[in-house]
Amino acid sequence: SVLFTLLSIPAHADVLSDIKKRGALRVCLEPAYMPFELTNKRGEIVGFDPDLATLMVKDLGVKLELVSTAWDGIIPALLTEKCDLIMSGMTITEERAQKIDFSNPYMVIGQTALLRKDLADKVKSYKDLNNPKYKITSKLGTTGEIAAKKYLPKANYSSFETEQEGLMEVVNGKADAFIYDSPYNAVAIGQRGEGKLVFLDKPFTDEPLGWGMRKGNPEFMKWLNGFLVKVKKDGSYEKLYQKWFKN
Ligand code: ARG
């Protein structure tokens, strides 16, 4: 509406001009979510998102600053201007969209289950886990947790601070299944599976991932969506996708 348009005119310039003035794009991410962002053995933050951010700053002609943030503090960090952008494999949800704006989706993922190997014969679909005899895990404040509670309400759910902890419960046989984003579980089965896990790889949710920005920055939004179209067209998105998702 007209009223909304008037009220949402920012008192300051669009963040796109702040980024250019500062000479740096600051990106918030939580680097525990392979292959989107992880910390390598040398302590560097690497992954699909930082590589995309590197392409962004080339186009913007500025430097890149990665701001490592706890997952439960990532939206507050953006809102208090610790960064300009969230690039952290974040699912676009209605609840989050009340606080921040999202770019167009840069990928679509879904929830999947990693099971204890012994359950291979009993659990053929995620639906079979909807039973009080099963212990399931996911990560606090994620769409994995939301899906676990929504689609498997009868299962015995425990929440963990990190992906790694939730996953290790299943690897160590203390829980039956880890519910999480398909790309993460695909990497995890290769790294931790070692005959201990079964991957139910058919996603049972459809989740668009987006880059998050503070509301009221239409120039930045336009730039980001234009960047996304460009990297999808010129093959650079595909190159990074092959690098991080096809192993
Ligand atoms: N896609 C899921 C969500 O939005 C998980 C993302 C976790 N990202 C991370 N960097 N730890 O809730």
Domains belonging to the chain, first-starting first, are: 2-108+207-245 (3.40.190.10), 111-200 (3.40.190.10)
Complete edge-to-edge strand list for the sheet that includes strand 32-33 = 32-33, 37-39, 45-46
| Residue type (1 letter), 141 | G
Mutate to test the pocket of ligand 1, among 52, 71, 86, 107 (most ligand atoms within 8 A of CB): 71
Which residue's CA lies nearest to atom 5 of ligand 1? 142
Whether ligand 1 lies within 6 angstroms of the CB of 91 is answered as: yes
CA 218 to chain CA centroid, Å, is 23
Is residue 179 within 8 A of residue 147, CB to CB? The reply is yes
Please state, in angstroms and rounded to a whole number, the distance separating the CA atoms of residues 239 and 231.
Answer: 10
Share of the chain above pLDDT 90, in %: 91
- Whether 8 has a pLDDT exceeding 90, the answer reads no
Give residue 1's pLDDT band: very low, low, confident or very high (50, 70, 90). Answer: low
Distance (angstroms) between ligand 1 centre and the Cα of 60 equals 26
Q: What is the pLDDT of residues 128-176, one digit of tens each?
A: 999 999 999 999 999 999 999 999 999 999 999 999 999 999 999 999 9
Is residue 32 classed as helix, strand or coil in its secondary structure? strand
Judge if the beta carbon of residue 33 lies within 6 A of ligand 1: yes
Query: pLDDT tens, 31-57?
Result: 999 999 999 999 999 999 999 999 999
C-alpha to C-alpha distance for 186 and 180, rounded to whole angstroms: 10
Q: Is 30 in the pocket of ligand 1 (CB under 6 A)?
A: yes
What does DSSP say about strands 32-33 and 37-39: parallel, antiparallel, or unpaired?
A: antiparallel
- Say if residue 11's pLDDT is above 70: no
pLDDT number for residue 195? 84
